[in-house]
Structure 1
Amino acid sequence: MGILSFAVDPNAPDRVYAATGLYLSQWSRKGAILRSDDRGRTWQKTELPIGVGGNSDGRGSGERLAVDPRNGDVLYFGSNRDGLWKSTDRGRSFARTGAGITGFSLVAADPAVANQVWAGSTDGSGALVVSHDGGASFAPVPGLPAMVPQHMVFGPDGSAYVTFAGGDQASGLNPSNVKTGAVWKRDGKDGHWHEITPKPRRPASWAAFPASTCRATARWRSRRSTAGHRGMTSICRAMAARTGARCPRGRVTAPRAIPGWSIT
């Protein structure tokens, strides 16, 4: 079975979850949620009545699994096309919520606000949506792009960062079919949103990932910001300046060029 998404309980790091499945077609096996209480040494399985597209278009976004940081018993799973599913018993059982969204690209439980859940919708052209009732209902966040959210992370100051991708097929964006993108930040103090999209030399799409990874491909290069939304610079160039190594150009197929960094 393929893996569409992972989640770790932030208050119990030995507890790990995985959303598994390969395809969404009728002939494909239905998906399942795997859970482990010992960092993956052993696993238990909860079958789902829906498909999980671990190898389907759109698999590059996420995460679609999220553990409530205030209550480790609660787990959210945003499916490819069958709505939001919620567990209140640490993944032993799941039930579909009443949320009126069909397709999800990501789910993120807000670490600062109880029962507030953020999600990426692939319905229509896509949207960032938010729930204030634990996923029972969602509303679009006003003023943000009509594109599909790809990744979302929270800062220690209450800020939030979201990357977006746009294309003709909202449910199938990432790793393919992307034509445009954007990066937005929510201010941790006043809650206002600001666009912080880097200005590329050529058309590019954007995705968020841990700052310990340097990526370089023929289509886009990684960038980082050390000053909130006030600017982004190439990660490879920054590391090259510090180490004396050469920033790779073109498609990179092996972990090299930047000592101590992985290139994927």
Structure 2
Amino acid sequence: MPGPEPGGGVPLEGQVIVITGAAQGLGAGIARYLHAAGARLLLLDRDADRLAEIVSACPGAVSAVVDLADASATERALAEVVTEPVDTLIHNAAILRMEPLEDVTLAAFQATLNVGIQAGFQLVKALWPAMKTRGGALVFVSSRSGIEGFADETAYCATKHALEGFSKSLALEGEPYGILSVTVTPGMYMHTPMSETNYPPELREKWVDPIELAPAFAFLATRPLHLSGQRLDAWALSRPDAAPRPDAARRTESPPTEPAP
């Protein structure tokens, strides 16, 4: 299925947008789409080579290679790339290791939490003061693992559940300041390096290019404040007959067994 025209429909000229996990998969698709819509991108990822490819495809983008599991490194990266007020944060970075509980080490569990929720906290803390004065959008990529439990996903489920609660609290605190906070579930199987590892063959027949979900993130960057605090479906919001109409936002969930964004 062909993807949507990059940047089509929602102009974001001059918006400053931070994207984590931007080097591949959904993050890369979002970056390409928002760049075409006129956004100025600040991109974070730990994969230097793939991040360089995305920066090359998005002239003018600023990037930092960083392991978001490392709090000190995350702080340094933010100081390096965030030199002006940010309009939108898209926290997409995640770690998913499919392992039974007895095989999960404390280090692996902590790294998953650090990338998913600790880094999310650090990002929001850094951007919050400016957003309180001019508004902003906080978009956290979630999945069904944020509202359900799945075997062999203890760390990932714990992290996504934490993100859901974090976003709802931010929506309440940000409401007086015009700050949108939402979680977004993909709503469709995506072809990503993560899904290549975790999806069984029957699901690979259904996956789509991540850029097909990118229009939802462009729409949310326009700050539809009446949606703040909700859990939204990127696939539904990205359909031509749905986005960017606000009434197309739905709380529909991702397909069964969807393990990752």
TM exceeding 0.5: no
Q: Which has the larger radius of gyration?
A: 1
Q: Which has the higher helix share?
A: 2
TM-score, reference length from structure 1: 0.28
> Which has the bigger relative contact order, CA under 8 A and spacing at least 6?
2
TM-score, reference length from structure 2: 0.28
